[in-house]
Amino acid sequence: MTDKTPPSDAAAPSRSSVALTRASLFKFAGLLVAGFVFAVYLFFYLAQDLDRTEETESAFYTEKAMQAFEKTLRLTLKDYAFWGDAYKHLHSEVDTDWAYVRQNLGSTLYADFGFQGVFVVDDSDRTVYAVIRGALQPVQASDWLKQRYAEVLSQARANAQAETPITAFIDINGSPALVAAAPITPGTDPTVVADDRQASVLIFVDILDATKLEAIGKDYGVQGLRIATGDDVHARASYPLGENGAAGSLHWDPERPGQRLLSLGLPLLSITAVLVCLMAWVLLRRTTAGAKALDASYHSLQRSQGALATSEARFRDIVEISSDWIWEVDTCWRFTYLSERFEEVTGQAREAWLGRSIDSLLCTETGTVSQWLSTANRRADNSVHCRYVDTRGQERITRVSARTMGPPGFRGTATDVTGEVEARRQIEFLSQHDALTGLPNRTCLQAFLDGKLKVLSTQENPLVLLSLDLDRFKPVNDLLGHAAGDQVLNEVSRRLCECVRHEDLVARVGGDEFVLILCDLSNQDNVEALCQRVLASIEQPIEIDGHQTFISASIGITMAPNDALEASELLRYADIALYEAKAGGRSTWRFYSGDMNAKIVERRRLEADLRFAIKHGELRLHFQPRYRIADGQIVGAEALVRWQHPERGLIPPDTFIPIAEQTGLIIALSNWVMSTACQYAAQWPQPLFLSINLSPIEFKSGGLVERIEQALADSGLNPARVELEITESVMLDDAGGALALMHTLKKLGVRLAMDDFGTGYSSLSYLRTFPFDGLKIDRSFLNRLGESADDRAIILAIVGLGHALSLTVTAEGIETAEHLRMLNAVGCDEGQGFFLSRPLDVQAFDALLQAAETES
Ligand code: C2E
Ligand code: CA
Ligand code: CA
């Protein structure tokens, strides 16, 4: 079993695809971020580089602009300074008119060139000509140039030979200005002759104001070129004017292509990043979902692999533990596989059977297994019972199921059902048979009878049905115990079976009721001969625990097809005949005849009439007086019921009491008898006792004590004057119950007498045990008195016994004086009979009492 666990997770990946996918996607994302950071860095670097280049360039252009500015001023000044006319009119002598008025060096210099200051300084450093912003003004150049004045003059003069003006940036009242100075020379004019005097110096001052700078900046492509002011701290580029920026400095705002690039590129980059992120997210989701699906399918694969392994293991286990064996056959019906269980179940070797035909091992009820397997349209869930003989030579039954299999052939299981089949057979037997005797029961009888009746027409002989009932079986059961009763029944069954032939049937259909079905009896004589044999056999003594028990039976006979053709009718008719046999004195048989049925119908009518009679006062009471034998005195009377039938006249009780007993009417009838009799007795002139007959049925049905109490109370009759006559069948049916009841009755104060003594079973034992006050010797003893001498001895013995038990002994059926004398002789206490008095109707009985009264 240990190797049958499903495969472990060894085959599973150490990490799931989802985890793997996630990891690689995170790596990818990291790379992306790094890429983006690098790109941003690159952008910034590039932008800065661009900006720096732009700054350098703009600085270069600013310098160029300033140099050009200087050069222009220098060239302009050169034109004016190295000019013969200027030498004449401003050095040799100062001709303001020539210079200013005639506009040779006048206001146009301001208007056209924007020179704020134009000065001429003579050899003795005095300012001899000054035009300030186009206006002739008496201003000293030294006031404008301040400390640079001397330096400018000397430098200018020093360059006289080279005829190159000097320039310098100076600060004029906080504004940078370019100063150009050159000595005035005759230039190339041959007409003018230079004097010895130190050269006069022409000075042009061009103040760099905002407008000028803007124009310069525009020419050179430098943005926002301006003079630096104290609060212009944001300027990113500057250019110093003069030595170390003594004249101030220029500021400008170089263009920032880097910043532009950034402002354009960064959002683009961001958008790209967002888009890439978005795409990565989508990709992540897709791939994760894909990976999940992959994982799920992997897991489901794993699960189904596990399930497959489990199912295989389960199958293997089941094959090993079940009692079934499994087989496979090829198309030639030869075994190609047999499971291990085959050997254990059949005791046969597998090797010996592999390759052999399935038909040589198993056969079905109807044919070979191969025939069954090749049946067209055989359902897959069909199975068939097969037989085989095991190694011990025992026949076994196996249930074979089969299916066609992939490689042509069949496979299936074989289940050993020997036990099951046997158990079923047993159950079937039990359901059809009587557990005690093993004889067929009513169910089986019914089936047998139905079967026989079906084929009746083809048979020569009639079908004979005997209904047999044991006489007085109940006392045997009660007195000797149920085990003895069972033994008797078993013995009777055995004897019955001995009397019939094999093809006949003996069934037990009730406690002591049997039915015999005989197929071979050709006529009535044969049937009677058989009945004779059966009764003789049953009447043989049965020995139980060393004691001999005698039993007899009565038989009712019906025959098919004469009497009936229906099983139920036959059985009913046999019962009617049986009833007749019992009524006919037991230990005999009766054939069913049509008039029996008529009798039954008659009984039914009588029953209905009786019911009516009880209700409608058709019952009458007769009283038969009982005399003391010794002196012939009336001591009491027995109440005897009659039925005054409107059509049939007076009916005796023997005709209707049994019907009343069978139908339960006896209670109502007896109630009427008791109350009426008590009422009469209470009116009798003498305190005679009243004797009332009780039916055994009344003992069983309950309420007897209460009913008697009621009758006594209603009539006011002294209970001591009442005697109840009980037959011994009361004690036979339920001795214990009867005893208790009789003790209760005794407590009421009534007397109890045993009626019909001597006709029953073992009367003597009852007399001793039960609280009787008297016994009545059955009239059959007196009837037979003439025939046998024994009866006299018996009567004598009974009287003796009665006296020994202090019982009043009464003789019934005294029909002759002889009877009376004999009874007197044996000392019998009381007697009644036709010889003394017949049962009398109420008037007659009253008359009798009157007569007796007057007599005494
Ligand atoms: P039983 O108790 O043995 O009653 C006596 C029967 O013997 C009566 O028959 C009576 O007429 C008859 N008898 C009296 N003297 C002679 C005689 O000298 N010779 C002959 N051959 N017979 C004589 P009855 O009235 O036909 O009653 C028959 C049976 O009916 C009674 O037998 C009794 O068992 C039963 N029976 C009668 N009345 C009642 C009743 O009210 N209740 C019950 N439960 N049974 C009753
Ligand atoms: Ca009686
Ligand atoms: Ca009697």
Listing DSSP states for 195-213 in one string gives -SSPPPEEEEEEE--HHHH
Percent of the chain with pLDDT over 90: 36
* Residue 3 pLDDT greater than 50, yes or no: no
DSSP symbol at 116: S
Query: Given this model, what pLDDT does residue 762 score?
Result: 53
- According to DSSP, the β-strands at 117-121 and 542-544 are unpaired
Query: Given this model, what pLDDT does residue 340 score?
Result: 85
Residue whose CA is at the smallest distance from ligand 1 atom 7: 813
Cβ 462 vs Cβ 558: under 8 Å:
no
* Residue 324 pLDDT greater than 80, yes or no: yes
* Residue 600 pLDDT greater than 90, yes or no: no
Q: For residue 640, how far is its CA from the centre of ligand 1 (angstroms)? A: 6
CA–CA dist 620, 642 (Å, integer): 5
- The sheet carrying 552-560 orders its strands as 505-508, 513-518, 463-471, 552-560, 589-591
C-alpha dist (Å) from residue 155 to 86, 160, 182: 20, 9, 8
User: For the residues 379-408, what does the mean pLDDT come to?
Assistant: 85
* Residue 412 pLDDT greater than 60, yes or no: yes
* Residues 90 and 222 occupy one common structural domain: yes
* Residues 416 and 543 occupy one common structural domain: no
Classify residue 364: in a domain, yes or no: yes
Cβ 842 vs Cβ 848: under 8 Å:
no
CA–CA dist 176, 216 (Å, integer): 15
* Residue 10 pLDDT greater than 60, yes or no: no
Q: Which ligand is nearest to the CA of 626?
A: 1
Q: Which of 142, 155, 167, 139 is nearest to 78 (CA)?
A: 167
117-156 per-position pLDDT tens digit: 999 998 888 898 999 988 888 888 888 888 788 888 888 8
* Residue 78 pLDDT greater than 90, yes or no: no
CA–CA dist 46, 737 (Å, integer): 130
620-667 per-position pLDDT tens digit: 999 999 999 999 999 999 999 999 999 889 999 998 998 899 888 999
- Of the three residues 251, 274, 299, the one that is the final residue of a domain is 251
Classify residue 44: in a domain, yes or no: no
- According to DSSP, the β-strands at 513-518 and 463-471 are antiparallel
3-state SS assignment for residue 326: strand
CA–CA dist 541, 554 (Å, integer): 17
Out of 33-47, 220-234, 299-313, least confident range: 220-234
* Residues 405 and 471 occupy one common structural domain: no
Mutating to test ligand 1, I would choose from 693, 708, 835 the residue with most ligand atoms within 8 A of its C-beta, which is: 693
CA–CA dist 856, 854 (Å, integer): 6
Query: Given this model, what pLDDT does residue 787 score?
Result: 67
Percent of the chain with pLDDT over 70: 97
pLDDT level of residue 487 (50, 70, 90 thresholds): very high
* Residues 141 and 239 occupy one common structural domain: yes
DSSP string for residues in 2-28 = GGGSPP-GGGS-SS-HHHHHHHHHHHH
Q: Which ligand is nearest to the CA of 704?
A: 1
* Residue 768 pLDDT greater than 90, yes or no: no
In this structure, which amino acid lies at residue 4? K
CATH of the domain at 466: 3.30.70.270
CA–CA dist 237, 254 (Å, integer): 7
pLDDT level of residue 761 (50, 70, 90 thresholds): low
Classify residue 649: in a domain, yes or no: yes
Classify residue 624: in a domain, yes or no: yes
pLDDT level of residue 234 (50, 70, 90 thresholds): low
| Phi-psi sector, 244: left (phi>0), alpha (psi -120 to 50), beta | left
Mutating to test ligand 1, I would choose from 623, 627, 640 the residue with most ligand atoms within 8 A of its C-beta, which is: 640
Classify residue 70: in a domain, yes or no: no
Residue whose CA is at the smallest distance from ligand 1 atom 21: 813
DSSP E strands: which ranges in 490-633?
505-508, 513-518, 542-544, 547-549, 552-560, 589-591, 619-628
Please give the backbone phi and psi of residue 555, each rounded to the nearest 5 degrees, phi first.
-130, 135
684-718 per-position pLDDT tens digit: 988 999 999 999 999 888 899 999 999 999 999 99
Q: 204 - beta bridge partners?
A: 118, 180
Classify residue 480: in a domain, yes or no: yes
In this structure, which amino acid lies at residue 416? D
* Residue 790 pLDDT greater than 80, yes or no: no
Q: Which of 101, 33, 113, 131 is nearest to 74 (CA)?
A: 113
State the total domains in the chain.
4
* Residues 517 and 619 occupy one common structural domain: no
* Residue 231 pLDDT greater than 80, yes or no: no
In this structure, which amino acid lies at residue 660? A
DSSP string for residues in 562-575 = TT-SSHHHHHHHHH
Residue whose CA is at the smallest distance from ligand 1 atom 8: 640
Return the number of other C-beta atoms located less than 10 Å from residue 262's C-beta: 20
In this structure, which amino acid lies at residue 824? N
Residue 537 CA, distance from chain mean position: 64
Q: For residue 805, how far is its CA from the centre of ligand 1 (angstroms)? A: 25
13-25 per-position pLDDT tens digit: 556 777 887 788 7
Q: For residue 729, how far is its CA from the centre of ligand 1 (angstroms)? A: 16
C-alpha dist (Å) from residue 220 to 63, 199, 214, 676: 10, 37, 10, 165
User: For the residues 738-752, what does the mean pLDDT come to?
Assistant: 95
* Paired tokens of 726: 């009980």
Query: Given this model, what pLDDT does residue 233 score?
Result: 63
* Residue 42 pLDDT greater than 60, yes or no: yes
* Residue 7 pLDDT greater than 60, yes or no: no
Out of 71-75, 624-628, 831-835, least confident range: 71-75
CATH of the domain at 709: 3.20.20.450
Cα within 13 Å of Cα(197), Cβ side: 20
Atom of ligand 1 nearest to the CA of 839: 11
* Residues 417 and 468 occupy one common structural domain: no
* Paired tokens of 313: 């293991």
* Residues 696 and 786 occupy one common structural domain: yes
Residue whose CA is at the smallest distance from ligand 1 atom 23: 813
User: For the residues 378-391, what does the mean pLDDT come to?
Assistant: 84
Cβ 92 vs Cβ 185: under 8 Å:
no
Q: For residue 803, how far is its CA from the centre of ligand 2 (angstroms)? A: 20
CA–CA dist 734, 446 (Å, integer): 33
- Which of 14-28, 380-394, 769-783 reaches the highest mean pLDDT? 769-783
- Ion ligand 3 neighbours (CB, 5 A) are 755-756, 812
**Ligand 1 environment, Cβ below 6 A:** 624, 639-641, 652-654, 657, 670, 673, 693-695, 725, 755-756, 779, 812-815, 832-834, 839
* Residues 707 and 819 occupy one common structural domain: yes
CATH of the domain at 377: 3.30.450.20
The end-to-end CA distance of the chain, in Å, is: 113
Atom of ligand 1 nearest to the CA of 814: 18
* Residues 417 and 481 occupy one common structural domain: no
Query: Given this model, what pLDDT does residue 473 score?
Result: 86
CB neighbour list of residue 302: distance below 8 Å, 6 or more residues apart? 9, 11, 12
Q: For residue 851, how far is its CA from the centre of ligand 2 (angstroms)? A: 25
Query: Given this model, what pLDDT does residue 741 score?
Result: 94
* Residue 221 pLDDT greater than 90, yes or no: no
Q: For residue 653, how far is its CA from the centre of ligand 1 (angstroms)? A: 8
CA–CA dist 840, 854 (Å, integer): 19
Query: Given this model, what pLDDT does residue 39 score?
Result: 86
CA–CA dist 477, 546 (Å, integer): 16
The better pLDDT of the pair 480, 742 is held by: 742
- Of the three residues 197, 216, 251, the one that is the final residue of a domain is 251
CB neighbour list of residue 766: distance below 8 Å, 6 or more residues apart? 728, 731, 754
Q: Characterize 147-178 residue by residue with b for buried, 16 or more Cβ atoms within 10 angstroms of its Cβ, and e for exposed.
A: ebbeebbebbbeebeeeebbbbbbbbeeebbb
* Paired tokens of 676: 């009426």
- Of the three residues 251, 267, 291, the one that is the final residue of a domain is 251
* Residues 365 and 445 occupy one common structural domain: no
* Residue 353: domain span: 325-422
Query: Given this model, what pLDDT does residue 59 score?
Result: 87
* Residues 244 and 331 occupy one common structural domain: no
CA–CA dist 369, 386 (Å, integer): 8
Classify residue 50: in a domain, yes or no: no
DSSP symbol at 164: -
* Residue 9 pLDDT greater than 60, yes or no: no
Classify residue 46: in a domain, yes or no: no
CA–CA dist 341, 322 (Å, integer): 8
* Residues 641 and 748 occupy one common structural domain: yes
- For all residues of the chain together, what is the average pLDDT? 87
3-state SS assignment for residue 517: strand
3-state SS assignment for residue 139: coil
* Residue 465 pLDDT greater than 50, yes or no: yes
